[in-house]
């Protein structure tokens, strides 16, 4: 029941205004130093919705100077943790107040279903800031039982100016994963948004200032990766860089950090996550969860369950039902109620996904449904299912980042463990079984940063997230995320000052 091209022609006009398009540096909205702007689009049509200041190295320099000054001179790192916590809470309240505009803007600029933005992502954004507000005044050092007559303690101090580079698939959630822990720990920030989705971060950064954040603490620069992004990663005055995006760009960021001032780097990169349906699975439930694991957010999730391994005993039934479910998926204007899938983010991603579909067909996987564009404008793609996928096919090895489910057959646990782990990625895995022994065996054997058992995409603020292998370095969310933004200082004092 794909939407027809006709239905896609009658698009809902968003009611939200685009109020902020300049860079936010030192508490003020300013044009790019070069005066340049770049267009940002509505992925439903490919039409321009606004022109945004195009930051480059010069704007990054200004933003870093502002962040440096705000860190070195304060008041932010010197404020009491409780005062910082209050600002984070006030910000969360303002986000709640402006949730409607923010959800509309997120859908307009990104193409994700409005119900998803409004009912799950905005509440999660608020929850993430409540969570980090809770941490701000609970960051403790240790008293260390060292040998010898010394009193030894550790101070957990903010690391300084954090450079943060985020992608376009979850613009507001990525903002929160980066900004939340950095601010809770007392750092200052220069954030570079993805060129596809600059609008909501500017909006919420404005709200942060209304909440009482001092100027220079959070600076937001819009612009392209090789110019603005690279300038941030290689800046000598940036003390830490955090990046989410492709594995290839992650390598560049790591290299730029190493070649400049050896700033520590956290990376959250691509994935090719297995979703394993065991022989005892309730097939209807497994189909629904595997469908969600892959198709959620137009398939544009780093942790998407993009290799659906199904035990041979339930394979045929699973396949038939997975295909029927994909055919029932409601694709259309993401502003319309009941729509499950909107357009892909831009023409580049759209073309990339279609290329992988062609590659699947050429490598003799069986195209069960979908396989093409939907409508005549915008970046809509039919929910696509391939069966008879084998491990050597490109669609089983590379990140497609689109609504393309690849179904692979397996015979026993040892085999599926080996195959699931045969990838350069290690972000997440899904396991669907009623058998606790099977769940325990798989959990320990899978080399991934998350294992979801009989669930998928559970993104609580307290649950750490990150990758093994080439899916990244470090963890975001939860208590682990704080370590990315803290330095540990050992302070050693003789118990009796006999030396002097
Ligand atoms: O990613 P990039 P793109 C994967 C997904 C997708 C592919 C390409 O497979 O199809 O990556 O997407 C900035 N120095 N993911 O091209 O290039 C860029 O401006 C510094 C997975 O969008 O990694 C943007 O802000 N920064 C993923 C950010 O990096 C640079 C989410 C991400 O862009 C830079 C998105 C440079 N030289 C895509 N070049 C996930 N892990 O969730 C680009 N950037």
pLDDT in tens, 6-47: 457 689 999 899 999 999 999 999 999 999 999 999 999 999
Question: Which protein residue's CA is at the shortest distance from atom 39 of ligand 1?
Answer: 225
194 lines ligand 1 (CB under 6 A): yes
- Residue 184, classified by CB atoms within 10 Å of its CB into exposed (0-12), middle (13-18) or buried (19+), is buried
- Write out pLDDT tens, residues 215-254: 999 999 999 999 999 999 999 999 999 999 999 999 999 9
Alpha-carbon gap, residue 193 to 160, rounded angstroms: 20
**Cα maximum dimension of the chain:** 87
Dig out the tokens for 416 from the structure. 């599926």
Average pLDDT on 288-311 reads 98
Average pLDDT on 53-62 reads 98
Question: Which protein residue's CA is at the shortest distance from atom 18 of ligand 1?
Answer: 225
Alpha-carbon gap, residue 378 to 46, rounded angstroms: 5
Dig out the tokens for 262 from the structure. 């050896």
DSSP 8-state secondary structure symbol assigned to residue 373: B
- Residue 26, classified by CB atoms within 10 Å of its CB into exposed (0-12), middle (13-18) or buried (19+), is middle
Name the active-site residue from 268, 340, 399, 476. Answer: 268
- Write out pLDDT tens, residues 430-475: 999 999 999 999 999 999 999 999 999 999 999 999 999 999 999 9
254 lines ligand 1 (CB under 6 A): no
pLDDT of residue 497: 72
Alpha-carbon gap, residue 146 to 433, rounded angstroms: 48
Average pLDDT on 345-359 reads 98
Ordered DSSP codes for 298-324 = GG--TT---EEEEETTTHHHHHHHHHH
Alpha-carbon gap, residue 421 to 437, rounded angstroms: 19
Q: For 261, left (φ over 0), alpha (ψ -120 to 50), or beta? A: alpha
Name the active-site residue from 62, 302, 303, 369. Answer: 302
Residue 2 has pLDDT above 80, yes or no: no
pLDDT of residue 400: 98
Mean pLDDT of the chain: 97
User: Model confidence at 496, in pLDDT bands (50, 70, 90)?
Assistant: confident
Of 108, 111, 106, nearest to 125 by C-alpha is 106
Question: For residue 352, what is the enclosing H or E element?
Answer: helix 347-362
340 lines ligand 1 (CB under 6 A): no
Average pLDDT on 476-485 reads 97
- Write out pLDDT tens, residues 104-154: 999 999 999 999 999 999 999 999 999 999 999 999 999 999 998 999 999
Alpha-carbon gap, residue 288 to 295, rounded angstroms: 10
Radius of gyration of the chain, Cα coordinates, nearest whole angstrom: 24
User: Model confidence at 500, in pLDDT bands (50, 70, 90)?
Assistant: low
Dig out the tokens for 37 from the structure. 């702007």
DSSP 8-state secondary structure symbol assigned to residue 80: -
380 lines ligand 1 (CB under 6 A): no
DSSP 8-state secondary structure symbol assigned to residue 470: G
271 lines ligand 1 (CB under 6 A): no
Decide if 427 contacts 472 (C-beta within 8 A). Answer: yes
Question: Which protein residue's CA is at the shortest distance from atom 37 of ligand 1?
Answer: 226
Enter the pTM of the model: 0.98
Residue 164 has pLDDT above 70, yes or no: yes
Decide if 239 contacts 72 (C-beta within 8 A). Answer: no
268 belongs to the catalytic site: yes
Residue 253 CB partners (closer than 8 Å, separation 6+)? 165, 229, 233, 241, 243, 265, 267
Alpha-carbon gap, residue 467 to 200, rounded angstroms: 27
Question: Which protein residue's CA is at the shortest distance from atom 33 of ligand 1?
Answer: 245
Of 309, 318, 300, nearest to 429 by C-alpha is 309
Alpha-carbon gap, residue 401 to 298, rounded angstroms: 8
317 belongs to the catalytic site: no
- Write out pLDDT tens, residues 320-342: 999 999 999 999 999 999 999 99
Alpha-carbon gap, residue 104 to 95, rounded angstroms: 13
- The residue whose CB lies within 8 Å of the most ligand 1 atoms, and thus the one to mutate among 178, 201, 225, 477, is 225
Rounded alpha-carbon distances, angstroms, from residue 91 to 53, 98, 174, 180: 24, 11, 16, 11
Decide if 305 contacts 293 (C-beta within 8 A). Answer: yes
349 lines ligand 1 (CB under 6 A): yes
Residue 1 has pLDDT above 90, yes or no: no
Q: Which atom of ligand 1 is nearest to the CA of 233?
A: 20
User: Model confidence at 309, in pLDDT bands (50, 70, 90)?
Assistant: very high
Contacts 24+ apart (CB under 8 A), 116-120: 116/297
Other beta carbons within 10 Å of 300 = 22
Average pLDDT on 303-329 reads 98
Q: Which atom of ligand 1 is nearest to the CA of 168?
A: 35
């Amino acid at each position: 029941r794909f939407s027809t091209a006709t239905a896609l022609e009658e698009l809902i006009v968003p009611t939200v205004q685009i109020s902020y398009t300049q860079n936010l540096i030192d508490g003020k909205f300013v044009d790019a130093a070069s005066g340049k702007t770049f267009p940002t689009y509505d992925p439903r049509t490919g039409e321009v919705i606004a022109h945004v200041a195009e930051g480059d190295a010069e704007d990054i320099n200004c933003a870093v100077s502002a962040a440096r000054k705000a860190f070195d001179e304060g008041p932010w790192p010197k404020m009491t943790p409780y005062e910082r916590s209050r600002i984070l809470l006030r910000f969360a309240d303002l986000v709640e107040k402006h949730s409607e505009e923010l959800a509309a803007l997120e859908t307009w600029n990104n193409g994700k279903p409005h119900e998803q933005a409004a009912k799950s992502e905005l509440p999660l954004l608020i929850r993430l800031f409540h969570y980090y507000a809770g941490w701000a005044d609970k960051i403790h050092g240790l008293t260390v039982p060292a040998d010898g007559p010394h009193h030894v303690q550790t101070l957990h101090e903010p690391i300084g100016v954090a450079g943060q580079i985020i992608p376009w698939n979850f613009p507001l959630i990525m903002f929160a994963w980066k900004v939340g822990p950095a601010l809770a720990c007392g750092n200052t920030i220069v954030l570079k948004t993805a060129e596809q989705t600059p609008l909501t971060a500017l909006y919420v950064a404005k709200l942060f200032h209304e909440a009482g954040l001092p100027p220079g603490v959070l600076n937001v620069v819009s612009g392209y990766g090789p110019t603005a992004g690279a300038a941030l990663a290689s800046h000598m005055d940036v003390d830490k860089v955090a990046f989410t995006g492709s594995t290839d760009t992650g390598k560049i960021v790591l290299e730029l950090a190493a070649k400049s001032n050896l700033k520590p780097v956290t990376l959250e990169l691509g994935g090719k996550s297995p979703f394993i349906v065991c022989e005892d699975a309730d097939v209807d439930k497994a189909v629904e969860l595997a469908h969600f694991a892959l198709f959620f957010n137009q398939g544009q999730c780093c942790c998407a369950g993009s290799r659906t391994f199904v035990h041979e005993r339930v394979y045929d039934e699973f396949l038939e039902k997975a295909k029927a479910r994909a055919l029932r998926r409601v694709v259309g204007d993401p502003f319309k109620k009941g729509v499950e899938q909107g357009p892909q983010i831009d023409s580049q991603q759209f073309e990339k996904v279609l290329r992988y579909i062609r590659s699947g067909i050429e490598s003799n996987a069986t195209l069960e449904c979908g396989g093409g564009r939907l409508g005549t404008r915008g970046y809509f793609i039919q929910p696509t299912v391939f069966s008879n996928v084998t491990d050597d096919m490109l669609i089983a090895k590379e990140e497609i980042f689109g609504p393309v489910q690849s179904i692979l057959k397996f015979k026993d646990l040892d085999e599926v463990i080996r195959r699931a782990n045969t990838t350069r990625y290690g972000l997440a895995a899904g396991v669907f079984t009623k058998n606790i022994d099977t769940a325990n065996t798989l959990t320990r054997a899978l080399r991934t940063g998350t294992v979801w058992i009989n669930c998928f995409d559970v993104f609580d603020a307290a649950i750490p997230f990150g990758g093994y292998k080439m899916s990244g370095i470090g963890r975001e969310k939860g208590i682990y995320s704080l370590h990315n933004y803290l330095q540990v200082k050992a302070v050693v004092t003789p118990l009796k000052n006999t030396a002097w």
